[in-house]
A and B are shown apart, each in its own frame.
Chain A
Amino acid sequence: MTGLRDLFRRRAELGELKAEIRAHLDEKIASLVAAGMPRAEAERAARRAFGNITNVEQAARDVWRMPRAEDLVADVGFAFRFLRRSPTFAAVAASSLALGIGANLAVFTVINALLLRPLPVDHPGALVVFSREDADTGRTNSLTFREYADLRVRTSSFVGLVAHAGGDGSLQVGATLVPNAGERIRGARVSSNFFDVLGVGMAVGRGFLPVDDSSADPERSVVLSYDFWQRRFGGDASVVGRPVIVFRDVPFTVVGVAARGFRGIEADERTDAWWPLGTVKIMFADRLAGWNVSVMGRLKPGVTLAQARADAQVAHAAIVVDEAAASPNWNDARRRRFVSQRFNVSSGRTGIAESLRTQFTQPLYALMVSVAAVLLIACSNVGALLLARTAARRRELAVRLALGSGRARIVQQLVTENALLIAIATMGGVALVPLAQRTILSYAPAAAAAALDTAPDVRTLAFAVAMALTMALVVALLPAIRSTRALEGGLSAGTRGSGGTPRRSRTHQWLLGSQVALSVALLVVAGLFVRTLQNLRGVDAGFDRKTVVLVTLNSGAATTAIARRVVPALETIPGVQSATFYANLGLLGGGSAMSDCVIDGSLPGASAEVTCAMMQVGPRFFETTSTSIVAGRAFRTGDEPPAAQVAIINETMAQQYFGRTSPLGQRIQGKLVVGVARDTKYTNLREPAPRMMYTPVGAGWVVADVRFALHSTRTIAELTGPIKRAVVDAGVTQPVTAIESLGAIANATLARERLLAELASWFGLLALVLACIGLYGTMSFEVARRTNEIGTRLALGATRAQIIGGLMIECGTPVAFGAAGGIAATLAVSPLLARFLFGLDATDPTTIATAVLVLGLAAAAAAFLPARRASGTDPLIALRAE
């Protein structure tokens, strides 16, 4: 605080200094007069000997100053006035930077939430996640509970392994099931060691008892999340011990509330409640072993990830071999494929978010690159504008340099002006973040958008600081240094006359060229993504997207008896032409129900793939979903097993299994093929239809994942009420959890493509606008600088058209080079882009040509306006301006 003390002392000292100087002069005069000099002359002599009093006082004052801080205050004030004097410039510069900053921060916070933020558990760095993928397709598959149990026994690198199977469900308070009284929750069945291994404590009550997950009598307990407990029960601790129903009609007991902040191990879901995986046995006695689970583990202290991976891979390889050996009816291809699957152990620090991460990791990084490019354009743009403005102030700055102002001092002032601009832009950018975040998250499933934790943290802050510093360097410091260096030549050089310094012009051209290059690249990418989306939207899905509505009941599982009661009830709704049900997903629900489909007899050979997707369908399925039968017939009454064994296969399967031979009358897995259905999209609109086999749902079956479909031209809003009433009327106690049109579901599978297409378009447009602003600014500046040259040429008889043409050709050069650079850049990254595209190549000439044309036209317009203004210069005025 010496600085502050000095600041106060300075005032006192200055007063004393004045008195002191007066005394000094008086004494000098007195002594000179005493020596015989006339008084007037003595006064002059004394002042002469003393020197410039004002300078002395200034120098003395400087001693007490905090020069940097005080200059800064003055500079900021000056900078404010300066920006206010040119509001258009300030607005354009600040808003283009703000857009860039906001977009970058928003994309980063989403990346942070999905990919970087560690789980709020004890030592998240020691957590690992297990995964396996098919060696051929690269698709990741879940592990089964049996594999989990085997891994626990056969590995030694882990403190513990946990299994987790999350899903949407409902929770109802009370011991008896009341229709539609439950509320939708995100639930998870977990191994009983779940909370212990993760190191998550309980806010209230206890966790699960450490019992064997596969015991015959599993613990019927529920642990609630802290958030859900607060939201649903107002933080009432007496909820522990109360009965709830989370699963069919079996009462469970709330035993505890997990520690605050823990929302489960899924980064893209907020789990509301957990219950033991063993309870699967209550409903599906024999299904637990094959139940799909995510597996996480905690490394023992001192064990590295690589060691644990090797350990688990050896263990899993043995498990796989055992399993293959236990399946004698597989053919060689199936066996080879099963044994060759890749097993991996990777860091589980950030939890699991398999589907969202697979879908969005690369698009998010692509977005990050795009927004960084936009910010770069904005920076170089503002940098160029600032350079131009400083150049316009050459005279002022040169005069100040000549008057003895230090170059460092001038740089400081220019930097302050630029930094103020950045500060304003940063505030604007931060204000834009919530909006930009919402926009990005709107492309993710609603649950994920709500669950992703985008609150600022250390990483976000570090990112923001790094970005601000980079910008400060590029936008604030470099132009300031650059423009004062140009000035050092002095007052005379370059302030008048027609010749500019070529070096500065070249800087402008480089900046302009790189802006154009980035813009072209972004426009091409945007064009590719937009056309990909169009192609996918227009793709023939094989079913009718407009008139099919899908209805999901809670917990998914139902007996065919229930399904057969609901279907007629749905068909009585006015405006519903037909209804049906189906199981094992499909119709864009995806699903992993791949089963062996071996043709009876010889075909296909030992080397052929023999799996296909199975869908069990109710009556009138093909009619209701408008899936046409291209050969043979649809199912009819009497086809249901066990009375009959019939199947319908899709075109892909017919082609791959039978080629040109008719499949009708052939038998697969003992089932008679009675028809061939059109290919329909299965998991999403992008992937081609897999081999599919439809069979009728047998009487008395219990099937998982039942959905109902109905055919109606009425809207979802009109149908919702009647559907819910129909389900209750049918005597079904499980609540309806979703009513969606097939079109909406199909569009939802395009989330990634929509995200890429729409955001890339925005960024492409933004880049285009920024590049045009840059071009316009550079051109205006160039024109202003060369007013008298233009005037002279006009006076010498040049036509306006010649002047305009000349100027446009000049700025056309960097634009052309930039465009070429942009095309080269997109061609260079085309292999990376290819995987996101559908129905066109990354080097698609039409898209590239369109992008260049759009940019060319916009650039021409941006350059034409200042050029035309220049050609209207009155030669006399131009020459007199000097």
Chain B
Amino acid sequence: MSRSEPRDLFPGALEMMVLRILQREPLHGYALVQRIQQASNDLLRVEEGSLYPALQRLLKAGLLRAEWGLSSTNRRVRTYYLTPSGRKHLATEVSRFAQMLKGVSQVLALRDA
């Protein structure tokens, strides 16, 4: 499974971002990709296809639910919604990530001896 993920993200990063974005508004797959790239100012390069296995994992874990509907461009698309347990999961993931980031940053900020 790790092989199907982009090399430049750590495991779980994509899922976390998906959850965060869907927390603001329900979106379909393509729109999600667009939103990730916009939000990261194109700093993150997400292989578009890799989004779908991640969505499937989140669906399976019950963190998302999906509904078919029409997009703004009038296409039949599948829109993803955050479930309550997804909301909870995101909160814990974000705080864990913040902790990790803090730790890593402190190490990286060490002055040269």
B-contacting residues of A (Cβ < 8 Å)?
Answer: 6, 13, 16-17, 19-21, 23-24, 26-28, 30, 49-53, 55-56, 59-60, 62-64, 404
> Which residue of the partner chain A has the closest CB to B57?
A63
Residues on B with beta carbons closer than 8 Å to the beta carbon of A49: 47-48
Contact between chains at A56 and B50 (CB < 8 Å): yes
Residues on A with beta carbons closer than 8 Å to the beta carbon of B75: 23, 26-27
A-contacting residues of B (Cβ < 8 Å)?
Answer: 1, 3-4, 28-30, 33, 47-50, 52-53, 56-57, 59-60, 66, 68, 71, 73, 75-78
Choose among B52, B57, B66, B77 the residue that contacts A56 (Cβ–Cβ < 8 A): B52
State A17–B28 Cα separation when bound (angstroms): 12
Majority DSSP secondary structure for residues of B touching A: helix
CB of B72, distance to nearest CB on chain A (Å): 10
State A63–B48 Cα separation when bound (angstroms): 18
> Which residue of the partner chain B has the closest CB to A14?
B56
Residues on A with beta carbons closer than 8 Å to the beta carbon of B59: 13
Residues on A with beta carbons closer than 8 Å to the beta carbon of B77: 20, 23, 27
Having A20-B78, A50-B48, A56-B4, one finds 6 other A-B pairs with CB under 8 Å, namely A23-B29, A23-B76, A24-B30, A26-B75, A28-B30, A50-B49
Choose among A21, A26, A28, A30 the residue that contacts B52 (Cβ–Cβ < 8 A): A21
> Which residue of the partner chain A has the closest CB to B60?
A63
State A55–B4 Cα separation when bound (angstroms): 8
Residues on B with beta carbons closer than 8 Å to the beta carbon of A13: 56, 59
CB of B12, distance to nearest CB on chain A (Å): 14
Pick from A26, A49, A59 the residue with the most CB of B within 10 Å: A59
CB of B44, distance to nearest CB on chain A (Å): 14
What are the 8 closest A-B residue pairs judged by CB atoms, nearest first? Answer: A51-B49, A59-B53, A56-B49, A59-B4, A63-B56, A27-B30, A51-B47, A60-B56
22 A-B pairs with CB atoms under 8 Å apart are A6-B60, A17-B52, A20-B29, A23-B29, A23-B71, A23-B76, A23-B78, A26-B75, A27-B73, A30-B73, A50-B49, A51-B49, A55-B4, A55-B49, A56-B49, A59-B50, A59-B52, A59-B53, A60-B56, A63-B60, A64-B56, A404-B3
Majority DSSP secondary structure for residues of A touching B: helix
Contact between chains at A53 and B78 (CB < 8 Å): no
CB of A59, distance to nearest CB on chain B (Å): 4
Residues on B with beta carbons closer than 8 Å to the beta carbon of A24: 29-30, 33, 48
State A28–B71 Cα separation when bound (angstroms): 13
Residues on A with beta carbons closer than 8 Å to the beta carbon of B30: 23-24, 27-28
Residues on A with beta carbons closer than 8 Å to the beta carbon of B71: 23, 27
State A70–B97 Cα separation when bound (angstroms): 35
State A535–B90 Cα separation when bound (angstroms): 86
Pick from B4, B49, B77 the residue with the most CB of A within 10 Å: B49
Residues on A with beta carbons closer than 8 Å to the beta carbon of B57: 63
State A49–B66 Cα separation when bound (angstroms): 24
Contact between chains at A23 and B4 (CB < 8 Å): no
Residues on A with beta carbons closer than 8 Å to the beta carbon of B28: 20, 23
Residues on A with beta carbons closer than 8 Å to the beta carbon of B76: 19, 23
Contact between chains at A17 and B50 (CB < 8 Å): no
Residues on B with beta carbons closer than 8 Å to the beta carbon of A53: 49
Residues on A with beta carbons closer than 8 Å to the beta carbon of B1: 59, 62
> Which residue of the partner chain B has the closest CB to A57?
B52
> Which residue of the partner chain B has the closest CB to A28?
B30
State A589–B2 Cα separation when bound (angstroms): 80
> Which residue of the partner chain A has the closest CB to B48?
A50
Choose among A16, A55, A59, A64 the residue that contacts B78 (Cβ–Cβ < 8 A): A16
> Which residue of the partner chain B has the closest CB to A404?
B3
State A63–B62 Cα separation when bound (angstroms): 13
CB of A798, distance to nearest CB on chain B (Å): 51
CB of A405, distance to nearest CB on chain B (Å): 12
Residues on B with beta carbons closer than 8 Å to the beta carbon of A52: 49
State A112–B104 Cα separation when bound (angstroms): 64
> Which residue of the partner chain A has the closest CB to B66?
A16
CB of B38, distance to nearest CB on chain A (Å): 13
Residues on B with beta carbons closer than 8 Å to the beta carbon of A17: 52, 56
Residues on A with beta carbons closer than 8 Å to the beta carbon of B48: 24, 28, 49-51
CB of B9, distance to nearest CB on chain A (Å): 14
Residues on A with beta carbons closer than 8 Å to the beta carbon of B49: 21, 50-53, 55-56
Contacts A23-B30, A24-B29: A60 and B78 contacting too (C-beta < 8 A)?
A: no
> Which residue of the partner chain A has the closest CB to B61?
A63
CB of B42, distance to nearest CB on chain A (Å): 13
Contact between chains at B53 and A60 (CB < 8 Å): yes
Residues on A with beta carbons closer than 8 Å to the beta carbon of B4: 55-56, 59
Residues on B with beta carbons closer than 8 Å to the beta carbon of A28: 30, 48
Residues on B with beta carbons closer than 8 Å to the beta carbon of A16: 66, 68, 78
Residues on A with beta carbons closer than 8 Å to the beta carbon of B52: 17, 20-21, 56, 59-60
Residues on B with beta carbons closer than 8 Å to the beta carbon of A55: 4, 49
State A49–B4 Cα separation when bound (angstroms): 14
State A55–B52 Cα separation when bound (angstroms): 11
Residues on B with beta carbons closer than 8 Å to the beta carbon of A51: 47-50
State A244–B47 Cα separation when bound (angstroms): 96
Residues on A with beta carbons closer than 8 Å to the beta carbon of B73: 27, 30
Residues on A with beta carbons closer than 8 Å to the beta carbon of B68: 16
> Which residue of the partner chain A has the closest CB to B32?
A24
CB of A440, distance to nearest CB on chain B (Å): 55
CB of B67, distance to nearest CB on chain A (Å): 11
State A23–B68 Cα separation when bound (angstroms): 11
> Which residue of the partner chain A has the closest CB to B29?
A24
State A60–B75 Cα separation when bound (angstroms): 23
State A49–B33 Cα separation when bound (angstroms): 11
CB of A67, distance to nearest CB on chain B (Å): 10
State A55–B75 Cα separation when bound (angstroms): 25
Residues on A with beta carbons closer than 8 Å to the beta carbon of B29: 20, 23-24
State A319–B77 Cα separation when bound (angstroms): 100
State A6–B59 Cα separation when bound (angstroms): 11
CB of B83, distance to nearest CB on chain A (Å): 16
State A634–B33 Cα separation when bound (angstroms): 118
> Which residue of the partner chain A has the closest CB to B78?
A20
> Which residue of the partner chain A has the closest CB to B50?
A51
State A53–B49 Cα separation when bound (angstroms): 7
Residues on B with beta carbons closer than 8 Å to the beta carbon of A62: 1, 53
Residues on A with beta carbons closer than 8 Å to the beta carbon of B3: 404
CB of A871, distance to nearest CB on chain B (Å): 50
Residues on B with beta carbons closer than 8 Å to the beta carbon of A23: 28-30, 71, 75-78
State A144–B53 Cα separation when bound (angstroms): 85
State A64–B48 Cα separation when bound (angstroms): 20
> Which residue of the partner chain B has the closest CB to A56?
B49
> Which residue of the partner chain B has the closest CB to A20?
B78
> Which residue of the partner chain A has the closest CB to B31?
A27
Residues on B with beta carbons closer than 8 Å to the beta carbon of A6: 60
Residues on A with beta carbons closer than 8 Å to the beta carbon of B33: 24
State A337–B70 Cα separation when bound (angstroms): 107
CB of A51, distance to nearest CB on chain B (Å): 4
Contact between chains at B60 and A56 (CB < 8 Å): no
State A63–B57 Cα separation when bound (angstroms): 6
Pick from A16, A50, A63 the residue with the most CB of B within 10 Å: A63
State A20–B51 Cα separation when bound (angstroms): 12
CB of B47, distance to nearest CB on chain A (Å): 4
